[in-house]
Amino acid sequence: MSAKVIDGKAVSERVREGVRQEVDHWVAAGNPAPGLATVLLGDDPASEVYVRNKRKACEAARMRSIHHELAADTGQDEVAALIEKLNADAEVTGILLQLPVPPQIDGDEMTALIDPLKDVDGLTPINAGLLSQGREALVACTPSGVMELLREAGVELKGAEAVVVGRSKLVGKPVVQLLLAEDATVTTAHSRTRDLAEVCRRADVLVAAVGVPRLVNADMVKPGAVVIDVGINRVEEGLVGDVDFHGVKEKAAAITPVPGGVGPMTIAMLLANTMKAARLQAAIR
Ligand code: NAD
């Protein structure tokens, strides 16, 4: 039996429409439209495209987009000063430092300077810590998108065996925390995991966030599992995920495609986080 294909594009459009309506109500109630500040260092073409798409999505949701572009050789002090300025600016609701940053800049150090209430990427140590304690936090966008897809697909997580392949700060670790918060039994697999196939075969819910094209094949998937593919890998034929979609589709109960699965969710959750940040900031004013 062929798996149900989870349509990330459709889910992301619903989330974006929901945020747009929330912004309308927020502004109609007399609040300023949330503003997302994007900071781009250098001229990496992929980062330029990502930031452009984020800004467009922001405007489509009727939020304000505030963009700062700095030269590739900008010093760390200047980046830090800009982040401090945005922290202090009441018109700025969310701050997004586009990663990766040029080599002379310490991305972790700069990210840590962002006011946790404006940290719409959910990457500051404060928000990562709150998440790991199961407390209210701004959560990283791609992991939130993974959870939204699981919710929309009606996947029961309580007590389920979940396996996350990948342990990055950006994706793997926060996905693990979010699955734990939903009472799944979670295993983290990574590059040093001894028998990856055996570990993956345990999973009722398998999340791949690795960056290796088609690493997860049908042999590694339990029949009836739900498979979420976070990977985006450019190969000769175009974009592929970390999962061998065609093989795994015949074994899984549900699967996300690449493109059109997790990818579109990231920007949708960024918008949702920016709206949430506006509410959190208003609550303490
Ligand atoms: P990363 O390189 O920071 O982390 C990769 C993780 O995979 C590491 O923890 C590593 O231990 C693990 N790993 C590497 N090789 C492995 C192997 N052979 N077996 C098992 N584990 C292995 O990457 P990341 O930032 O977490 O991104 C992972 C993938 O997700 C990439 O393809 C990236 O492009 C994609 N991504 C997609 C989105 C999106 O919006 N959909 C967002 C972020 C990242």
Q: For residue range 99-155, list pLDDT tens digits in order.
A: 999 999 999 999 999 999 999 999 999 999 999 999 999 999 999 999 999 999 999
Which of these is catalytic: 121, 204, 229, 242? 121
* For the chain, percent of residues with pLDDT exceeding 70: 100
Per-residue confidence at 247, pLDDT binned at 50, 70, 90?
very high
The pLDDT assigned to 1 comes to 73
Average pLDDT for the chain = 97
* Burial of 249 per CB tally in 10 Å (0-12, 13-18, 19+): buried
Task: Determine whether 98 is an active site residue.
Answer: yes
Task: Determine whether 121 is an active site residue.
Answer: yes
Is it the case that residue 212 has pLDDT exceeding 80?
yes
- Asked whether 260 lines ligand 1 (CB < 6 A), one says no
The pLDDT assigned to 237 comes to 92
- Asked whether 168 lines ligand 1 (CB < 6 A), one says yes
Residue pair 202/222 in contact by the 8 Å Cβ criterion: yes
- Residue whose pair of structure tokens reads 């429409």 in the numeric block: 17
Is it the case that residue 252 has pLDDT exceeding 90?
yes
Query: What's the gap between Cα 112 and its chain centre?
Result: 18
Ligand 1 centroid–CA 69 distance in Å is: 27
What residues contact 164, with CB distance under 8 A and at least 6 apart?
172, 175, 176, 179, 186, 187, 188, 189, 207, 209
Is it the case that residue 48 has pLDDT exceeding 90?
yes
- Asked whether 252 lines ligand 1 (CB < 6 A), one says no
pTM of the shown model: 0.97
Nearest to 207 by CA among 189, 232, 182: 189
Is it the case that residue 85 has pLDDT exceeding 90?
yes
Region 49-57: mean pLDDT is 97
Instruction: Report helix, strand or coil for 95.
Output: strand
Ligand 1 centroid–CA 94 distance in Å is: 25
The pLDDT assigned to 194 comes to 98
Ligand 1 centroid–CA 168 distance in Å is: 7
Among protein residues, the one with the nearest Cα to ligand 1's atom 15 is 191
Region 213-223: mean pLDDT is 98
Of 44, 149, 168, best ligand 1 pocket probe by most atoms within 8 Å of the beta carbon: 168
Per-residue confidence at 285, pLDDT binned at 50, 70, 90?
confident
Ligand 1 centroid–CA 34 distance in Å is: 31
For residue 278, how many other CB atoms are within 10 A of its CB?
A: 24
- Residue whose pair of structure tokens reads 């589709």 in the numeric block: 249
